[in-house]
Amino acid sequence: MSKTILITGSTDGIGLATANMLVTLGHHVLLHGRNPGKLEKTQQSLSTLPGGGRVEGYVADLSRLPDVATLAQAVTEKHTKLDVLINNAGVFKTAETRTQYGLDVRFAVNTLAPYLLTQRLMPLIGVSGRVINLSSAAQSPVDPEALAGRVRLSDDFTTYAQSKLALTMWSRSLALSLNGDGPAIITVNPG
């Protein structure tokens, strides 16, 4: 049975490899990317794969939380059900570490965007669905001041590691709060 699956950050790396596999298995894959040209090229490439899977694309910059809300709205307008949400998009190192809203880009993309997107899409996912969050073996205690954007951390690895532990923490908290009465919330370390 074909599933409808949204994969953030699906124009390269793990996201693209996952999308490729799912399309060849016949699933309806909702691609996400922040670069419209790259997303279009990915859509065209995946559309030619055997297996009968369909693809559609959504553009959003996940470092901008209003874009995350717009992405969720766009998916909600086109779909009544989402079987799987794969929060794959992530940032380790970037030249510009602050968003226009004063947040660290790693916390915005790796932690806050997946949380907001998951919350907005929960009505589509339902109890039989899955939310899969890509975390990392790199994890470090979270400085709440850094998460809130009030403190800048000194190096990329520390910030990344904190953002990935924060992702794992909210994933566990959400799973526990659902008390078995919602979709499975799964956090994986692809390494």
Q: What are phi and psi of 60, to 5 degrees?
A: -165, 140
**pTM, whole model, 2 decimals?**
0.96
Q: Which domain holds residue 38?
A: 4-188
Residue 74's CATH number: 3.40.50.720
How would you classify residue 100: left for phi > 0, otherwise alpha for psi between -120 and 50, otherwise beta? alpha
Rounded Cα gap, residues 47 and 81, in angstroms: 21
How would you classify residue 26: left for phi > 0, otherwise alpha for psi between -120 and 50, otherwise beta? left
Q: How many domains does the chain have?
A: 1
Identify the DSSP state of 109. Answer: I
Per-residue pLDDT of the chain (191 residues; tens, 9 = 90+): 899 999 999 999 999 999 999 999 999 999 999 999 999 999 999 999 999 899 999 999 999 999 999 999 999 999 999 999 999 999 999 988 999 999 999 999 999 999 999 999 999 998 999 999 999 999 999 999 999 999 999 899 999 999 999 999 999 999 999 998 989 999 999 87
- State the sign of the Cα–Cα–Cα–Cα dihedral 31, 55, 46, 187: positive
How many CB atoms within 10 Å of residue 17? 11
Closest CA to 42 of 13, 69, 71, 65: 13
